[in-house]
């Protein structure tokens, strides 16, 4: 196989400072015959000039400051080869002060080598680095127990470290591919089996690396072309950007997110290069379309059938780098490929403690903390989860100047809002009713309106809604309840319970509730409706009529209370894994920020809760005298 045809794999090497990473890499290059001509001699001569023993580490530690201090402070990349493939090995710093550089180095790796000193054993950095590798999605890991010569190649010591570290990795959901005893300085178990570890039956480091599976080529993933700039030449608009994944060709229909505009590719152009028929991941291209669309920087081009999800809220795992802590409710700039938008920290789900393997609640995220948060933007974002696309599933937060955090995107539980905002109907003309809203109010004795009850399952929404309907009807109000069961049997009978289906269900309910209210009725809805975006869309639908008022009523009860009630046994089934995407357990619930009314059913009886809502309606919809 020629060098042009050989596979290339990117490996990151991490570990606690002074555990011998650079020494390992230097020896690895030597033992695979990958050192450039004269490099060994140059290192040897340098050591002689300094009057110091020969150090393999100087092959990697390229900076003078590193040689003086004896620590690696930046990531370095050097290529080496085996009989099977070529490798790029990324030496990432182990010192806690340079953890940002470690993340930068590991972000593009397909596999990792985790180094542990046999004498010192597992350190906090050993745990933190494993946690970060998991955060970045690196699953192929070889644990190397180095400096075995300092513990007389003790099988018992090796087994102790292997057992303890395997337990920690297991708590993260990781299983080490191999755990190998090494003496990197002498080359034990790097390229050849060591006679000093006859008790070790596993592969050498080279054999372990060659057993790894390269990541799928980026060109095989769905097309993602972030638009970086738009150029105008003569009568043409050229959309410029770098293809980060997938491929496309002239004649393909592209969808631009989040604007949801589509057009066909008329040409693919390069700088001072002839037109091309196609393009794929890694290429920087210019694209012209068959019609002049107004496309802006930051839009994401894709094929229609493999488009990213559109949402304005998502869950993220991030590593906080700034000295000033991240705080709940703070605003930051989200950089996502060529998109740069404001986001607010809506929720800090938890802080991960890499030392105790636990998660804990917190209102702030301190420097070097790993946290799970929910971020929300006022604008729709085109997103991929990191598992689906490692290139577009990562982001950074900044203050407009400095990078504050790096993180990965998780979209489980968040619906795709694309179809909620895409208008497909055409040739529609508004029809004016012959009966005015004022006439309906006069006839009914009250205006129409929407009472939108939201809260967790078990909070009491349906019970309260039905009782309020009875009492308002007794008092002469024109009132009707839209509840989950009566809607699911008909209007939404074709929808399931996936996040997108639930969002569409709420959209339909919002539109139907608005029609009821326009007819002069008070319509009460009793739905979990977990997402603020969906409830806001229902509000906008109602208030767009200029005659309908939307009242968001939060039926408040915490998860423990609702789970204790569990009137339909749903929480029990969710805990048992029988119900996927169950709100409060495996899917999020976003409480209202500024509801018109809060009814706390943890403190109020059903009768008092009903009286509270009825009193509210009387004060807002009171019949004219």
pLDDT at res. 468: 94
Task: Say how many CA atoms lie within 13 Å of 239 toward its Cβ.
Answer: 27
Question: What's the token pair of residue 465?
Answer: 């809604």
For the chain, state the CA radius of gyration.
Answer: 30
With tokens 């423990």, the residue in question is 560
With tokens 């009568």, the residue in question is 235
Are 394 and 406 a contacting pair, CB within 8 Å?
Answer: yes
The answer to whether residue 529 is catalytic is yes
The Cα-based distances of 224 to 283, 290, 316, 384, 480 in angstroms read 12, 19, 20, 10, 47
Show the beta-strand stretches assigned E in 384-508. Answer: 394-398, 403-410, 449-454, 479-483
Where is average pLDDT lowest: 129-143, 162-176, 251-265? 129-143
Summarize pLDDT for 4-52 with one digit per residue, the tens: 457 778 888 887 666 567 778 778 877 887 666 666 777 777 777 777 7
Task: Provide mean pLDDT across the span 499-505.
Answer: 80
pLDDT at res. 108: 64
With tokens 């938890």, the residue in question is 350
Task: Provide mean pLDDT across the span 541-567.
Answer: 87
Summarize pLDDT for 293-310 with one digit per residue, the tens: 888 899 999 999 999 999
Where is average pLDDT lowest: 125-129, 258-262, 311-315, 560-564? 125-129
459-495: buried (b, 16+ CB within 10 Å) or exposed (e) per residue? bbbbbbbebbbebbeeeebbbbbbbbeebeeeebeeb
pLDDT at res. 272: 75
pLDDT at res. 74: 39
Summarize pLDDT for 322-364 with one digit per residue, the tens: 899 998 888 899 999 999 898 999 889 888 775 655 678 888 8
Q: Which residue has the higher pLDDT, 265 or 488?
A: 265
The Cα-based distances of 185 to 56, 149, 154 in angstroms read 8, 9, 17
Question: What's the token pair of residue 231?
Answer: 């150029």
pLDDT at res. 98: 41
pLDDT at res. 274: 79
Reference 530, options 606, 470, 585; nearest CA is: 585
Task: Provide mean pLDDT across the span 598-617.
Answer: 94
Q: DSSP string of 84-130?
A: S-EEEEEE---SGGGHHHHHHHHTT-SEEEEEEETTT---HHHHHHH
pLDDT band per the 50, 70, 90 thresholds, residue 600:
very high
Question: What's the token pair of residue 418?
Answer: 């694309």
Q: Is 467 strand, coil or helix?
A: helix
Edge-first strand listing for the sheet containing 479-483 = 479-483, 522-526, 449-454, 549-556, 597-600
Characterize the bridge pairing of strands 522-526 and 449-454. parallel
The share of the chain scoring above pLDDT 90, in percent, equals 35
Task: Provide mean pLDDT across the span 413-417.
Answer: 81
* CB-based burial label for 294 (10 Å; 0-12, 13-18, 19+): exposed
Listed ranges 106-110, 151-155, 367-371; the one with the highest mean pLDDT: 151-155
Distant-in-sequence, close-in-space partners of 71: CB < 8 Å, separation ≥ 6: 17, 18, 93, 94, 95
Are 20 and 179 a contacting pair, CB within 8 Å?
Answer: no
Question: What's the token pair of residue 132?
Answer: 């970060």
pLDDT band per the 50, 70, 90 thresholds, residue 505:
confident
pLDDT at 157 over 80: yes
Task: Cis check for the bond before 369: say yes or no (omega within 30 of 0).
Answer: no
What phi and psi values does residue 193 have, to the nearest 5 degrees?
-65, 140
pLDDT band per the 50, 70, 90 thresholds, residue 76:
very low
pLDDT at res. 481: 93
Catalytic residue among 529, 605, 615, 619: 529
Are 90 and 14 a contacting pair, CB within 8 Å?
Answer: no
pLDDT at 160 over 90: yes
Crossing angle of the two packed helices 499-518 and 532-543, in degrees rounded to 10: 20
pLDDT at 432 over 50: yes
Instruction: Please state whether the predicted TM-score (pTM) of the whole model is above 0.85.
Output: no
Question: What's the token pair of residue 570?
Answer: 């749903």
pLDDT at 63 over 50: no
Reference 336, options 378, 294, 414, 398; nearest CA is: 398
Summarize pLDDT for 79-92 with one digit per residue, the tens: 778 888 888 776 55
The share of the chain scoring above pLDDT 70, in percent, equals 85
Distant-in-sequence, close-in-space partners of 370: CB < 8 Å, separation ≥ 6: 131, 132, 135, 317, 318, 319, 320, 351, 352, 354
Summarize pLDDT for 169-202 with one digit per residue, the tens: 887 778 899 999 999 888 899 999 999 999 999 9
CA 372/CA 316 separation, integer angstroms: 6
CA 14/CA 22 separation, integer angstroms: 10
pLDDT band per the 50, 70, 90 thresholds, residue 267:
very high
Task: Provide mean pLDDT across the span 549-560.
Answer: 93
């Amino acid at each position: 196989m020629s060098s042009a045809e050989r596979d290339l794999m990117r490996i990151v090497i991490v570990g606690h400072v002074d555990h011998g990473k650079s020494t390992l890499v230097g020896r690895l290059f030597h033992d695979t015959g990958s050192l450039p001509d004269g490099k060994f001699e140059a290192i040897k001569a340098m050591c002689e000039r300094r009057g110091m023993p020969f150090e393999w580490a100087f092959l990697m530690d390229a900076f003078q400051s590193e040689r003086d201090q004896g620590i690696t402070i930046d990531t370095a990349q050097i290529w080496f080869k085996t009989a099977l493939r070529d490798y790029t090995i990324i030496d990432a710093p182990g010192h806690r002060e340079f953890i940002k550089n470690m993340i930068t180095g590991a972000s593009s790796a397909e596999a990792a080598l985790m180094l542990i000193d046999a004498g010192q054993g597992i350190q906090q950095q050993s745990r933190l680095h494993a946690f970060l590798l998991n955060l970045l999605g690196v699953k192929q890991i070889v644990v190397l127990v180095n400096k075995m010569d300092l513990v007389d190649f003790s099988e018992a010591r090796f087994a102790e470290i292997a057992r303890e570290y395997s337990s920690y990795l297991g708590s993260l959901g990781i299983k080490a591919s191999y755990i190998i005893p090494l003496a990197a300085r002498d080359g034990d178990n790097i390229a050849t089996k060591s006679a000093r570890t006859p008790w070790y039956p596993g592969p050498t480091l080279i054999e372990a690396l060659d057993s790894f599976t390269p990541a799928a080529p980026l060109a095989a993933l769905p097309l993602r072309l972030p638009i970086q700039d738009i150029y105008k030449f003569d009568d043409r608009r050229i959309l410029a950007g770098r293809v980060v994944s997938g491929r496309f060709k002239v004649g393909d229909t592209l969808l631009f997110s989040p604007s949801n505009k589509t057009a066909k590719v008329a040409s693919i152009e390069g700088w001072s290069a002839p037109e091309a028929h196609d393009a794929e991941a890694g290429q920087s291209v210019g694209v012209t379309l068959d019609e002049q669309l107004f496309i802006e920087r930051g839009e994401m081009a894709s094929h229609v059938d493999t488009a990213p999800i559109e949402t304005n809220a998502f869950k993220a795992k991030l590593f906080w780098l700034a000295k000033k802590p991240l705080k709940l409710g703070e605003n930051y700039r989200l950089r996502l490929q060529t998109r740069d938008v404001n986001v607010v920290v809506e929720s800090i789900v938890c802080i991960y403690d890499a030392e105790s393997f636990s998660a804990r609640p917190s209102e702030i995220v301190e420097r070097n903390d790993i946290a799970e948060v929910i971020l929300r933007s006022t604008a729709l974002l085109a997103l991929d989860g990191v598992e689906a696309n490692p290139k577009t599933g990562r982001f950074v937060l900044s203050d407009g100047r400095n990078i504050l955090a790096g993180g990965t995107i998780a979209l489980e539980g968040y619906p795709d809002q694309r179809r909620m905002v895409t208008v497909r109907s055409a040739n529609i003309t508004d029809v004016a009713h012959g009966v005015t809203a004022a006439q309906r109010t006069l006839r009914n004795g009250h205006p129409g309106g929407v009472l939108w009850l939201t809260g967790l399952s078990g909070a009491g929404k349906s019970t309260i809604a039905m009782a309020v309907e009875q009492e308002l009807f007794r008092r002469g109000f024109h009132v009707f309840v839209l509840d989950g069961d009566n809607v699911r049997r008909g209007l939404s009978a074709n929808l399931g319970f996936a996040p997108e289906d639930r969002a569409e269900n709420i959209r339909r309910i919002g539109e139907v509730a608005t029609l009821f209210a326009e007819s002069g009725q008070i319509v009460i809805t009793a739905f979990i409706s977990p997402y603020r975006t969906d409830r806001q869309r229902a509000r906008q639908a109602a208030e767009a009529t200029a005659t309908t008022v939307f009242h968001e009523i939060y039926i408040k009860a915490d998860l423990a209370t609702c789970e204790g009630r569990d009137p339909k046994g749903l929480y029990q089934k969710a805990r048992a894994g029988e119900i996927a995407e169950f709100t409060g357990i495996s899917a999020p619930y976003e409480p209202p920020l500024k509801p018109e009314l809060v009814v706390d059913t943890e403190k109020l009886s059903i009768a008092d809760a009903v009286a509270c809502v009825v009193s509210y309606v009387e004060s807002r919809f009171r019949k004219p005298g």
